[in-house]
Structure 1
């Protein structure tokens, strides 16, 4: 079993005072949000739902939001209204999480990139080359490891995970020259998210990582602040990042996780019947979001090629070079920061999943 974040075992988290402060903030947010939503429930309850991607139905986050909204509003006969704030309308990623913690918004869909800023053990999800396929990832994230992670995340942040889906496997895009192996990343400024594991991976592979907020990626590419980035193909195409890029290398180094999360105070302010409706709507939306991403990943490759992007699939030897350079040092860094327990538990769950679902 993983150690609960309230434990004094420092192997689980590296900033216990920070976690205590987050817990206090979560308690305040719980009370604040309960008051806000409770006041609204005298008439209609409003759940403000923010996300970071394009507001199109070929994006998992927006598909999740739309299906969730339709299901909740239909099942509650309009007693609950879901207002969607997509495409960073509620601010950048960090701001969206903070607003949901504070109860300004009640639900957010956000990636794993900023999770470590709010819950240090989430660094484990940034280790590259963990999952060999979607099937292995879902076996792990839908299983005991996922359950324990979500519970620990909720205790630390005050945000209850309604469902987890993804945005596809992250790969390298570049504008200067094609990347066939790690040596080709030398001298390239690569945009990463604000995540230490992502930054360390690019460094280990020979590139120069430049952490940039999601809302500023397009202009950074447009203005030549960076020479490339690492992102899932479908997400890159939907956000039009390809307009300032030339090459895509399908190294699939990281499974990009997105989580839909509700403020715990807002959730607890709902009636038992409304809670059940929200949970069932989230399950339905999750199925749609995962299927949407699977289809979009495949369509996006054809769309990117039609748009003039040169796509390269590494040979088995080249892939092994990416993995052998990018994985060990990052894994050790994560172990040094959060301890061995979360890492070993995740790796054990992955080994079990690979045995259960077979090789891709």
Structure 2
């Protein structure tokens, strides 16, 4: 474990155990840390998670939420979950792929036909398998949160076609899938912590980045990056995670309550996300950002070799085909 994570573990312990079993008359408290601002729809959904868990459990369980990296960034929070010093966190599925390779399927460019297709996949058997996939790393998924579609934003020139990405230093998550995708599109992938990105854009360490509209807006990156191209190359969801050791310490009934509250919070989060996306795009346009709806066909063509390579992978290929077939319209014959 990193020195920073050790200090955070000590801080978490100072706040109390991650998933404290109740003394007589006390509630079980699950501590949840994440990186996002309190205005973010994911944070608001987590507050709903707490409300529903208290209601379902008759007040015997609750979630205490620590936003804005109070207990560390995504990587540090994952380390705390693995040792049971933190009960819950939210990570991008792109980060989760470092623990569960099958999760990388969610970062395949242009995988989902539309948002309805994505919801059908994530709420069904495929989603359940993906949530269970990091169990051997002492992590367990409870639900998927909508993270919208990711698109490129840049400081200098606007991106209207893949050729405009050639040679640009583009910040990516610490994810091999994201790195390969940016490279396939012609950019120079540069992994940087999300918390350091504003300064990196400001100082020219990177020329741009890629993210969804609410994150682009709430991070205030639009103050520096004045061009936003809606190519929507990936739709990588977030994953609400619980520590394996903490999960194993809950009773069957407590696990049922928590799982139900998590799924209900995901439904609320999707509504909040749609509202936040519309509001974010309106706000950055009002602030003078050039928001461009680009032709996605050239972007699909540029990543086609990468997608073909992933389709040939023994594990991912079958999963990609299964996702594409989910909810696909049946071939119609002559009438």
TM-score range, shorter chain: 0.7 to 0.9
Q: How far 1:39 moved relative to its partner?
A: 6.0
Establish whether residue 244 from structure 1 lines up as the match of residue 224 from structure 2: yes
SS at match of 1:168: coil
The answer to whether the 8 Å contact 2:158/2:228 transfers is yes
Show the 5 A alignment for 1:189-338.
189-315=169-295, 319-332=296-309, 334=310
- Give, in whole Å, the separation in 1 of the partners of 2:31 and 2:206: 34
The range that moved more, 219-228 or 345-354, is 345-354
TM-superposed CA distance for 1:324, in Å, is 1.1
Closer, same or farther: CA 279–302 of 1 in aligned 2, 3 Å? same
SS in 1 for 2:329: helix
Which aligned pairs between 1:342-353 and structure 2 lie closer than 5 A? 342-353=316-327
Q: Distance in 2 between matches of 1:260 and 1:89?
A: 17
Post-superposition shift, 1:65? 1.0
| Root mean square deviation, CA, Å | 2.1
Question: Matched residue of 2:75: which SS?
Answer: helix
Q: In structure 2, what is the Cα distance between the partners aligned to 1:160 and 1:351?
A: 26
Residue of structure 1 in register with 2:124 after alignment? 143
- How far residue 38 of structure 1 moved from its aligned partner, in angstroms, is 7.5
Structure 1 residue aligned with 2:32: 49
Give the TM-score of the pair, scaled to structure 1. Answer: 0.81
**Matched length:** 313
Structure 2: 5+ residue runs without aligned partners?
A: 1-16, 331-335
Q: Distance in 2 between matches of 1:124 and 1:240?
A: 30
Q: What SS is found at the alignment partner of 1:114? A: helix
Q: Distance in 2 between matches of 1:263 and 1:330?
A: 32
Structure 1 residue 192: deviation in Å?
A: 0.7
How far off its partner does 1:330 sit? 4.9
Flag as ranges the 4+ runs of structure 1 deviating above 4 A: 36-39
Q: Which runs of 5+ in 1 are unaligned?
A: 1-35
* Native 8 Å contact 2:19 2:30 kept in 1: no
Residue 104 of structure 1 aligns to a residue whose secondary structure is coil
C-alpha distance in 2 between matches for 1:258 and 1:331: 25
Give the secondary structure class of the aligned counterpart of 1:251. strand
What is the CA deviation profile of residues 174-213 of structure 1, one whole-angstrom value per residue up to 9, with x for unaligned ones? Answer: 1101111011112211111111121111112111111112
How far apart in 2 are the matches of 1:256 and 1:348?
17
Question: RCO higher in 1 or 2 (8 Å CA, sep ≥ 6)?
Answer: 1
1:97 paired with 2:78, answer yes
